[in-house]
Amino acid sequence: MPKLLSSFLYAGLFAAVLLPGRAAGQSASQSAGQPAGQSAGQFYLKLHEKAIVVDTHNDVLTTATLNGMDIETDLTGKTHSDLARFKKGGVDVQVFSIFCDDHYGVGSAFREAIREIDSLYAIAARNPDKMEMVTNPAGLEQAVKHHRLAAMMGVEGGHMIEDRMDYLDSFYRRGVRYLTLTWNNSTPWATSAMDETSKAFTVTPYGLTDEGKAIVKRMNQLGIMVDLSHVGERTFWDAIHTTTKPVICSHSSVYALCPVFRNLKDDQIKAVGANGGVVQVNFYSGFLDSNYAPRMTRFLLRHKSEMDSLNAAKAPNYVINEFLSKKYPRESDSLRAPLSLLMDHIDYLVRLIGADHVGLGSDFDGIESPPQQLDDVTTYPLITRELLKRGYKPADIEKILGGNFIRVFKANSDGKVVP
């Protein structure tokens, strides 16, 4: 979901070096194995169609649930996503975020999550020719084989288990296959990146408690992937040292390129690679472009009276940003990060930990500002095009587009217990 803006200083872009596997003087199309006589346009579209494209984080289910919209209909201009547009963009596997914010707690958060889960199952039941619910790798392969959207679920925030292990087990039985240990709000057993960065606590220890470590171990047993997006650094390291299975960071980008609290530092990125996990790059302009925050601040100040009214109504910051961005689309479009910066984050990760550990976690419908050109889920082929232009080999592109996530999904599914 959307995150509070940060005004950290810009860290600077990395120096350009040749990507692995591309020889000096060799064109991008040659290094990528483009068949002779086939146009670049034809080749990137064919490669995108051939790959299994996985997006590990999309908030359209929450957006639709909250706003009374139906993703079975054409929501162009209202959302980034709907069923028809997933198909058009070549998305084969979508992990739908199950989300509620910190206004939900004990007695309400789990119930709200179940409501969203029920909604997704109902949508799938009404559209058996378009999508199917997937809970294991074999089901994923079957859905892709039959050209149906493989719908998976990840719970974005440990507060939704309400500190109860039996609720974690219930999520597994309902088909949830990853849990983000925290959202921006901490739990009694894990501290978030927002709270650790702001030093929100003076007494509560940071990181995972013994209960938090037991939750991670239970997730490993069940086959629920550990998602380390949103968590604080101490929580991150405690989880990395506790898990016995590869982790994911379902929607995070690179701190060295855009130093905000939600992005990953180099030592964290290297740890994910050493663990065998995957960092899925977030598309939010505020996590890609360090100049986005000051641009957004100036935009909000231009509409201060409306912002003040929304603040008075106690609207969360992400709701205010989204509301004003939709009300003033021309202004908000001018704030968006260039597509090249998203590709720079991918490049940085590949150079640091290799193409085996990078993926895509758009955060579509949970962000008010995706990069320029990536207007919605139909634009995914542009990423394939840009990867080819930067000299990536087709095999590595297929890994980044989805193969790496599938590997981690399989690794977490192996040897799981039946609750």
User: Quick one: pLDDT at residue 91?
Assistant: 98
Q: Picking from 90-104, 134-148, 206-220, 303-317, which range would have the lowest pLDDT averaged per residue?
A: 303-317
Say which residue the tokens 């058009």 belong to: 88
How many Å apart are CA 140 and CA 409, to the nearest integer? 10
| pLDDT computed for residue 25 by the predictor | 34
**% the chain with pLDDT above 90:** 75
pLDDT of 124: 97
Q: Is the pLDDT at 20 greater than 90, yes or no?
A: no
Task: Say what the pLDDT of residue 417 is.
Answer: 58
In this structure, what token pair is assigned to residue 98? 């199950």
E strands, 72-146, in order: 93-98, 131-133
Look at residue 192 and tell me whether its pLDDT is greater than 60: yes
Cα–Cα distance between 18 and 274 in angstroms, integer?
A: 23
Q: What pTM did the predictor assign?
A: 0.88
- Please give the pLDDT value at position 12: 31
Is the pLDDT at 11 greater than 80? The verdict is no
Tokens linked to 216 = 């991670």
Q: How far is CA 353 from CA 180, 226, 269, in A?
A: 22, 19, 7
Q: Residues with Cβ < 8 Å from 351, sequence gap 6 or more?
A: 14, 17, 19
Mean per-residue pLDDT, 341-366:
98
Q: Look at the domain 37-289+337-413 and name its fold.
A: TIM Barrel (3.20.20)
219 pLDDT higher than 60:
yes
CA-based Rg of the chain, rounded to a whole angstrom? 20
Spell 173-192 as b/e; 16+ CB within 10 A means b.
ebbbbbbbbbbbbbbebbbb
- Which pLDDT does position 41 carry in this prediction? 67
Distance CA 190, CA 201 (A): 12
At a CB cut-off of 8 Å and minimum separation 6, what does 342 contact? 281, 283, 288, 371, 374, 383
pLDDT tier, 314 (very low <50, low <70, confident <90, very high otherwise): confident
Helix (H, G, I), strand (E, B) or coil at 196: helix
Average pLDDT (344-368) is 97
Question: Is pLDDT at 98 greater than 80 in this prediction?
Answer: yes
Per-residue pLDDT tens digits for 388-403: 999 999 999 999 999 9
Q: Residue type for 317, please?
A: N
At residue 27 the predicted structure's pLDDT band, cuts being 50, 70 and 90, is: very low
In single-letter form, the type of residue at position 411 comes to A
pLDDT of 355 reads 98
> Over the stretch 162-175, which tens digit does the pLDDT of each residue have?
999 999 999 999 99
- Residue pointed to by tokens 């020719």: 129
Q: What pLDDT was estimated at residue 30? A: 39
Listed in sequence order, the residues at least 6 apart from 28 whose beta carbon sits closer than 8 Å to its beta carbon are 22, 388, 389, 390, 391
Does the pLDDT value for residue 34 go beyond 70?
A: no
Taking the C-alpha atoms of residue 90 and residue 378, their distance in angstroms, rounded to an integer, is 7
pLDDT value at residue 24: 33
| Per-residue model confidence as pLDDT tens digits over 225-266 | 999 999 999 999 999 999 999 999 999 999 999 999 999 999
No. of helices (H) and no. of strands (E), the chain? 20, 9
What is the SS3 assignment for 98? Answer: strand
280: left (phi over 0), alpha (psi -120 to 50) or beta: beta
**Model confidence band, residue 315 (pLDDT cutoffs 50, 70, 90):** confident
- Amino acid in the structure at residue 158: G
Report the pLDDT value the prediction gives residue 8, as an integer from 0 to 100. 28
| Token code pair at residue 221 | 């047993």
Distance (Å, whole) CA 383 – CA 398: 11
How high is the mean pLDDT of the chain? 89
Mean pLDDT over 367-374 rounds to: 96
Phi, psi of 77 (to 5 degrees): 90, -10
Would the pLDDT of 40 be above 90?
no
State both tokens at 388: 């080819």
Mean pLDDT of the region 365-379: 96
284: nearest Cα among 380, 404, 366: 366
Res 322: pLDDT? 80
Q: Give the pLDDT mean for 84-107.
A: 97
DSSP assignment letter at 97: E
Q: Binning pLDDT at 50, 70 and 90, where does residue 180 land?
A: very high
pLDDT (0 to 100) of residue 301: 87
Q: Residue 368's closest CA among 63, 37, 8, 47? A: 63
Q: What is the pLDDT of residues 42-74, one digit of tens each?
A: 899 999 999 999 999 999 999 988 889 999 999
Residue in the block written with tokens 């963009």:
89
Higher pLDDT, 135 or 203: 135
Q: Which residues of 9-30 are buried (b: 16+ CB within 10 A; e: fewer)?
A: eeeeeeeeeebeebeeeeebbe
- pLDDT tens digits, residue range 346-357? 999 999 999 999
How wide is the angle at C-alpha 270 spanned by C-alphas 267 and 271, nearest 5°?
Answer: 85
